[in-house]
Amino acid sequence: MYNVNQVIKAANKAGVEFKDCGNGHIQLKGQLLVNYYPQSSKCSAYVAGTRKRRTWVSPAQAVEMTKAPPPISPNNKRRRNTKPIKEKLFRKIKNCHWCHTPLTLETATLEHIIPLHRGGLDNENNMTLACDECNQKRGHDMPELNEE
């Protein structure tokens, strides 16, 4: 078990935003959002929007998880019928998530914000609409995380 002050110190040193959510739950926000439980029996952490929970994570390791995309996981599967999700998102989102081009229901494509190959979930919370060009260009990379 780690002390909350150790987590704050590691977060401040790396320039990562720290939020104490209470009950031993800490959120660290860098390029990715990490939910960290330093006082739990297994000191677990996971990147928001992913499936894999890591255990025995030190404060420095939790801060490092905010900086790099999760490892590529080829085992994630896509759902088969995405039309209802696409229609539901289109009622809320009318422009491409990346380039803000206006979309129609026919030109909109479903896009995973955290790609499946990077550990993202195949659910509505991890989906948005994008134009076909942006969706193809991005692939399973996350170029928005590059700080160039």
| Tokens found for residue 57 | 């994570």
Q: Tell me which amino acid residue 2 is.
A: Y
Which pLDDT score, from 0 to 100, does residue 148 have? Answer: 44
**Whole-number Å distance between alpha carbons of 61 and 31:** 15
Question: Average pLDDT per run of 10 along the chain, which is 148 residues long?
Answer: 86 91 90 89 86 88 80 60 88 91 92 82 86 87 65
Exposure on the CB side of residue 95, measured as CA atoms within 13 A: 5
Nearest-CA neighbor of 63 among 1, 10, 2, 118? 10
Domains of the chain: 4-65 (no CATH), 83-140 (1.10.30.50)
Eight-state DSSP code of residue 50: B
- The pTM for the full model equals 0.52
